[in-house]
Homo-oligomer: A and B are copies of this chain.
């Protein structure tokens, strides 16, 4: 056992010695990956491909997902969302009731027990609607907002674009239930604001466009949140006046911006990072989901659904924030806040780095400590740039000669010497 490879303490969730970290960086991206997000996330040790469109989240990647998850959960709870988790295995009968068993071509189907047929859930209207039916009787039970963060499945013909279109993926889906269309409309508008808050918090707020898309049978438009990126599979037209956009799919019918009526658009490839949709009574009709109003009259429940793919969001962030050396994580979703690099194995350098690491641990700062003894400074710098933690702190003979550590933000070129005794405060700020 190498000396540093001791069993951890619970502090080690927040901190990690790179000599222990599972997930080595690679010099080259796998040849079968063509998108920036897949190349960088695999090279930097965030994800690993099991088969096309199916990825393992390695420890670094899982930390990012959990940060995204927490941001989303907090925002869902702020607008009254109650968290539950519905199953992956869906009975065929539920999908027959909505006539979607034969029409949704991305359904993975399988044989269960006693020749029962099942699908792997790609979405959960078929489960949540009958579930809610068991619990709703009158207007007093409405509105109701249920969400889950759960694994979904789509039998895509082609899975490409790294984390952008997967066959197995983590998704937040919220379903809202209302006694009137006016109430649905109000919540839908509130959800737009919630989605903006989420995209701002994870760092892509300025890069994302509210996009008008097809509303399906019951609504004129639905809204997507689209982020321009080379790996995008959608094409959107960004209004040059109001910064809203329209999806190519409705471009033939929609000539003017639905928001400001302007006619000038810029075409771009984009990734759909979120989608909000008024289902209205489509599913409550299928499942006879009624409520009784104040006057004793029966009415159909109005529904909305609101989705965000967590892995796709992670992939999009990488598409937006990177340079030719690697990823540049926004602070809120970075796997660690600081990357501490020990350059050289001399006892003085080691002692200074270990001391700083110990103090950061105690203070609850999330730090990845590159304590690897068999790596050159060049390799450590390259890995730090590739992994993309926002702040790099270097402990070296050169820095210690000036009683300092060397600070560099991943998104800046400037290198700064910070006196040893001021480093802790600086890192925490």
Report if A62 contacts B (CB, 8 A).
yes
* Complex Cα gap A10–B81 (Å): 10
Interface string of A45-70 (1 = CB under 8 A from B): 00010111011111101100100000
For chain A residues 78-116, which have a beta carbon within 8 Å of chain B? 78-91, 108-113, 116
Which residues of B sit under 8 angstroms from A135, Cβ to Cβ? 22-24
Would you give the shortest CB distance from A158 to chain B, in whole angstroms? 8
* Complex Cα gap A87–B51 (Å): 10
With A62-B84, A89-B168: A134-B22 Cβ-Cβ less than 8 Å = no
Which residues of B sit under 8 angstroms from A58, Cβ to Cβ? 84
Report if A217 contacts B (CB, 8 A).
no
Would you give the shortest CB distance from A387 to chain B, in whole angstroms? 15
Complex contact B55–A87 (CB within 8 A)? yes
With A78-B10, A153-B89: A2-B140 Cβ-Cβ less than 8 Å = yes
Would you give the shortest CB distance from A249 to chain B, in whole angstroms? 24
Selected contact of A21 from candidates B82, B127, B134, B374, CB within 8 Å: B82
Complex contact B13–A113 (CB within 8 A)? no
Name A130's closest neighbour in chain B (CB-CB).
B50
Which residues of B sit under 8 angstroms from A167, Cβ to Cβ? 89, 112-113
Report if A230 contacts B (CB, 8 A).
no
Complex contact A110–B109 (CB within 8 A)? yes
Number of interface residues of A (CB under 8 A): 78
With A110-B109, A113-B156: A48-B85 Cβ-Cβ less than 8 Å = no
Selected contact of A80 from candidates B8, B86, B139, B155, CB within 8 Å: B8
Name A114's closest neighbour in chain B (CB-CB).
B157
Which residues of B sit under 8 angstroms from A13, Cβ to Cβ? 73, 77
* Complex Cα gap A84–B85 (Å): 20
Report if A425 contacts B (CB, 8 A).
no
Interface centre among A6, A61, A79 (most CB of B within 10 A): A79
With A1-B183, A110-B108: A78-B127 Cβ-Cβ less than 8 Å = no
With A1-B143, A10-B78, A131-B48: A62-B89 Cβ-Cβ less than 8 Å = no
Would you give the shortest CB distance from A47 to chain B, in whole angstroms? 10
Would you give the shortest CB distance from A237 to chain B, in whole angstroms? 32
For chain A residues 377-405, which have a beta carbon within 8 Å of chain B? none
Report if A5 contacts B (CB, 8 A).
yes
Selected contact of A59 from candidates B82, B132, B134, CB within 8 Å: B82
Which residues of B sit under 8 angstroms from A24, Cβ to Cβ? 135
* Complex Cα gap A36–B82 (Å): 26
Which residues of B sit under 8 angstroms from A2, Cβ to Cβ? 139-140
Would you give the shortest CB distance from A49 to chain B, in whole angstroms? 10
Name A57's closest neighbour in chain B (CB-CB).
B85
Complex contact B56–A131 (CB within 8 A)? yes
Report if A12 contacts B (CB, 8 A).
yes
* Complex Cα gap A73–B139 (Å): 41
Report if A214 contacts B (CB, 8 A).
no
Name A146's closest neighbour in chain B (CB-CB).
B22
Complex contact A84–B56 (CB within 8 A)? yes
Which residues of B sit under 8 angstroms from A109, Cβ to Cβ? 110-111
Which residues of B sit under 8 angstroms from A421, Cβ to Cβ? none
Selected contact of A54 from candidates B5, B89, B151, CB within 8 Å: B89
Instruction: Offer 5 A-B interface pairs, CB within 8 angstroms, sorted by A.
Output: A2-B140, A10-B77, A22-B132, A54-B89, A56-B86
- Which A residues have a C-beta under 8 Å from some C-beta of B? 1-2, 5-10, 12-13, 16, 19-24, 48, 50-52, 54-59, 61-62, 65, 73-74, 77-91, 108-113, 116, 120, 127, 131-132, 134-135, 139-140, 142-144, 146, 151, 153, 155-157, 159, 167-168, 179, 183, 190, 374
